[in-house]
Amino acid sequence: MNKIHVNCAVNGDATEFLCDPGATLLDVLRDTLGLTGSKEGCGSGDCGACTVVLDGEMVCSCLVLAPEAEGRSVATIEGVAEGSVLHPVQQKFLEHAALQCGFCTPGFIVAAKNLLDRNPDPTETEVRYWLAGNLCRCTGYDKIVRAVLAAAAELRQERTPACTRPRQ
């Protein structure tokens, strides 16, 4: 089988790779480029553990063929922090204990950052629906939602997200 030559940008770096025509972007990220932060939980687009951002759009990389990345920009969990400085979403996940096993965490963080890039002040309901394509089996989502709202507040330079204010 002839390999396809692909040029793209991964986390801002010019990247080229050879892949089988049927290879998924997730396969190439994990097995060819060694970026194992994106996880495969299902391979069918149902769990969101492989979430990456392709030209600004959130996608399940297991549902994208690797050759489709030609000429495009791919952002993965490995590019969310700036060097050793964590993104507020990452920092709030740690402070709020929004992970237990941590396997789904990269997908959630990529998805949550993409939400906050678009909507700096989401409601709890908006967060829950935006993240509805990401499965977490450990946390029951409570601390994840709080972490995302806290990260949003921090990015807006506020202190207390709406849902953690005392009930009226």
Please give the residues from 13 up to 72 whose contact with other proteins meets the rule CB under 8 A.
20, 30, 35-44, 46-47, 49
Dump the DSSP string for the chain.
Answer: ---EEEEEEETTEEEEEEE-TT-BHHHIIIIIS--TTS--S-SSSSS-TTEEEETTEEEEGGGSBGGGGTT-EEE-GGGTSBTTBPPHHHHHHHHTT--SS-SSHHHHHHHHHHHHHH-SS--HHHHHHHGGGS--SSSTTHHHHHHHHHHHHHHTT-SS-GGGSPP-
Counting contacts by CB under 8 A, is residue 162 touching other proteins?
no
Counting contacts by CB under 8 A, is residue 160 touching other proteins?
no
Counting contacts by CB under 8 A, is residue 97 touching other proteins?
yes
Counting contacts by CB under 8 A, is residue 99 touching other proteins?
yes
Residues in the interface with other proteins (CB under 8 A) total: 59
Exposure string (b/e) for 146-158, b if CB count within 10 Å is 16 or more? bbbbbbbbbbeee
Query: Shortest approach of other proteins to residue 160 CB, angstroms?
Result: 11
Query: Shortest approach of other proteins to residue 99 CB, angstroms?
Result: 6
Residue pair 20/58 in contact by the 8 Å Cβ criterion:
no
Counting contacts by CB under 8 A, is residue 5 touching other proteins?
no
Q: Among residues 15 and 146, whose Cβ is nearest to other proteins? A: 146
Counting contacts by CB under 8 A, is residue 122 touching other proteins?
no
Identified binder of other proteins from the candidate list 26, 60, 69, 106, rule CB under 8 A: 106
CB atoms within 10 A of CB 159: 9
Q: Among residues 38 and 114, whose Cβ is nearest to other proteins? A: 38
Identified binder of other proteins from the candidate list 10, 131, 152, 153, rule CB under 8 A: 131
The binding site for other proteins (CB under 8 A) comprises 20, 30, 35-44, 46-47, 49, 76-78, 80-81, 86, 90, 93-97, 99-106, 109, 124-125, 127-129, 131-146, 163-164
